[in-house]
Structures are given as C-alpha cells and as structure tokens.
Amino acid sequence: MGKVRPLGGGSWVFFSQLLSNFGTVGAIAPSSPLLAKAIVHPLEDRPQRPISVLEAGAGTGVFTSQILKRLRRGDRLDVYELNPRYFGYLSRFLQGQELHSRGIRCNLYNADVRLLSQARPYDFIVCGLPFNSFDVQTVDEILEILMSHLAATGVFAYFEYSLPPGVRSRFLKAAERDRLRKVSLRIGRFVRKHQFGSRQVWWNFPPAKARFCRKASAGSGLPETSRDKTAEAQPPARPVKH
C-alpha cells in the first residue's frame, strides 16, 4: 500500500466552510478514517492492470487519501471539487504526494462533476456529494452522469448517514420536508436497482453506511446520457495536473 503525506489544517478548512456554506457542505463533521476505509474497500479487489478512478466531491481529501494509498503505477485519478476553498486545500495536499514519481496520473478539477467529459469509463467512482442537500433533479443529473461513466464491471461507492427516519425532517419547513422526501424516494429506487453490498460504520459522526453499486446489467461501452442544459453550455473544465 502506498504512503500518503498528511497535510494539516483540514478540519479547520472543513468547519470554516460548514459555517459559511452549510447548505452545500451537507455534513456536520469530517468523515472518519473508518468511513474512508470502508468506502474504498472495493479497491482491495482491484484488477492487476492500471485502473481509472473518479472522486466527486472530495472535500478536504479524507477519501482521496485512502484512494491514493491503493493506487499503483499506471493508475489514473480524476478529482472533482466545486468549493474553491476545498479545491485550494486539495491542490496543496496533492502537490505533496510525489505522484509523478509513483507513476500515477492525477487531475484535479475545480468544477461541477456534471461537466465530466472523460471518454474512457472509470473502474471505481467515489462520491462524497451531499445528496440530501440537493433537489431531486440535481440528484438525478449527478447519478446519471456518474453511472454513465462507470465501467461495465466497475463499482460506484457513496455513503449516507444512518439517522432514524424523521430526525432531520422534524426541524424543516414543509417545502424542505417535501424536497427531502422526493430525494429519499429517488435514492431508494437507485439503491434497489444498483446496490450489491454495503458497510455500516458506527465510528463516524453521525454513523454512516457506505453503499456499493454497479450497473443494472453488464455490457460493453457507455450508455447515452442527457446532461442538463446548463452543464452543456459550459466549456470543458481544465484540470490541475499533479
């Protein structure tokens, strides 16, 4: 397993953005190392050949660090983070990893993952985006673009908090409760169709479950995807190479 050089200050960056952008951060504490290890567990059974990995919504790099430990020479990692403060922190973190000498290609994008234009499918996709903070159309668009770029035998991993039903909605207004209900129904349909495994992590705040998904049916190539018009109108994102 490869070594990763830690970069201090991640918690401070997280909480500073939590206070100013709670609606888009969508978490009340950084993900624990145990959740990070759980969500990248499928990489333990990775193929021997070089692989391509995508991380959407990397935040301060808790999952990124665990991904990098499991990458080998010839592998590729694309990281998307829209928040400019998180993006700056990730850039400094990745600069200290000496990925070029390890033979790992890494591209960091300060962009919406719905702008994803990679032609080749990904063997492993990790999503740290807060689905419960979005409207159902945004959730649909994100899931569609990620699954359309997943290899036929690839794994899509994401997590959700293990909270009793109604805990969060109890403190929301009617419109927000309706939005959350629609998102929960959409995610539920997705899980029933695509999930093949999961891992419960109690040592996280709040406790969380890592979910592992695949395409509904194996096949070759990538299916057609209809991106939202806003994303289509934007130019391709330019990466910061590390």
Non-local (6+) Cβ contacts of 79 within 8 A are 54, 55, 58, 64, 90, 94, 106, 107, 108, 109
For the chain, what is the radius of gyration of the CA atoms?
17
pLDDT computed for residue 233 by the predictor: 40
Extents of the domains making up the chain: 32-241
**DSSP symbols for the chain:** -------TTHHHHHHHHHHH-HHHH--SSPPPHHHHHHHTGGGGG--SS--EEEEES-TTSHHHHHHHHT--TT-EEEEE---HHHHHHHHHHHHTT-HHHHT-EEEEE-S-GGG---SSPEEEEEE---GGGS-HHHHHHHHHHHHHTEEEEEEEEEEEE---TTTTGGGS-HHHHHHHHHHHHHHHHHHHHHEEEEEEE-SSSS-EEEEEE--SS--SS-------HHHHHSPPPPPEE-
pLDDT digits (tens, 9 = 90+) for 119-137: 889 999 999 998 988 999 9
1 pLDDT band, cuts 50/70/90, is confident
- Beta pairing class for 208-213 and 105-109: unpaired
Residues of the chain with pLDDT > 90, as a percent, come to 60
pLDDT at 6 over 70: no
Q: Does domain 32-241 have CATH number 3.40.50.150?
A: yes
pLDDT digits (tens, 9 = 90+) for 22-71: 444 445 667 899 999 999 999 999 999 999 999 999 988 999 999 999 99
166 pLDDT band, cuts 50/70/90, is low
Higher-pLDDT residue of 70, 176: 70
33: left (phi over 0), alpha (psi -120 to 50) or beta: alpha
